[in-house]
A = this chain, B = another copy of it.
Amino acid sequence: MTGRDSGADIGPIDDAPVVVLVRPQLADNIGAAARAMANGGLFHLRLVAPREGWPQERAWRNASGADRILEAATVHATVPDAVADLHRVFATGGRPRHIVKPVLTVRAAAAELRDICARGLRAGILFGPERAGLENDDVAQADSLVRYPMNPAFLSLNLAQAVMVMAYEWWIAADETPPRRLMTNETRVATKGELENFLAHLVAELDACGFLHNLPKRPGMVRNIRHFFERGEVTEQELRTLHGVVTELALGRRQRGRDE
């Protein structure tokens, strides 16, 4: 439990924002939140008056190896104590009344958090207790509110899930993965020349077997076949397989003596 320095390597610890769990009720959720933090590269955890005390074995059981986050977590008596060294504080959760504050979507908050950290300032994100959420006095410690724009008919967000979405947006805000690309592994995308070569092979066999015997329709039929093969990025490996398929189908036809 505590004291052990095991757990997974979770990557380099940086000056990412601090996650502050305010009066969390269940140690399981603290562990699950730590796991979500590790997934999204948020490494600093502070606990304000955890109801079950701290540390708790069940947190480690739910952290799935994110032990370093739990071991480095600090416990604080109050929210002001937990945020005293931070420059900016964001509060997640509902929309309290009688409050005048900027409200950001999770995505906009993540972008702002990246900007804050790039300026060398430290930020924190408050998450309230499982049932009740943050109280007005907690929210008053924050300079901005973070809103999760999700299904208004079912807003009951699990604590670790709320942390997950924030951690996810934090990571994504600096991620440059292309939105879409073809994974080709050992092979590569075929050139247009290689595709043309295959189409010539296919059309020759289709001519030979009489599939394209209707001459007025032939150009349109060839074009339809071409459209299908041009649509995706066919790979060089797939073209070789398709060459084999056409050759073998044609050969079988010839061997069965039905060659036209």
Contacts and interface: CB of A to CB of B under 8 A. Distances in A.
Nearest to A107: B179
Interface of A: 8-12, 32, 35-36, 38-41, 64-66, 95, 97-105, 107-108, 111, 145, 147-158, 160-161, 164-165, 168, 171-172, 175, 177-187, 235, 237-238
B151 A171 contact: yes
A107 B110 CA distance: 15
Given A108-B179, A154-B38, A238 B100 contact: yes
A110 B95 CA distance: 27
Q: How many copies, total? A: 2
Contact of A179 (B35, B66, B105, B181): B105
B98 A180 contact: no
Given A11-B152, A40-B150, A100-B187, 7 more contacts: A36-B161, A41-B150, A100-B183, A103-B180, A108-B179, A161-B161, A164-B165
Contacts of A181: 102-103
A105 B108 CA distance: 19
A236 to B, nearest CB: 10
A181 to B, nearest CB: 6
Contact of A184 (B100, B108, B150, B172): B100
A102 B184 CA distance: 9
A39 B171 contact: no
B156 A172 contact: no
The 10 closest A-B pairs by CB, nearest first: A11-B153, A108-B179, A149-B177, A38-B154, A10-B154, A103-B183, A41-B151, A149-B175, A161-B164, A104-B180
A177 B147 contact: yes
A28 to B, nearest CB: 11
A32 B164 CA distance: 13
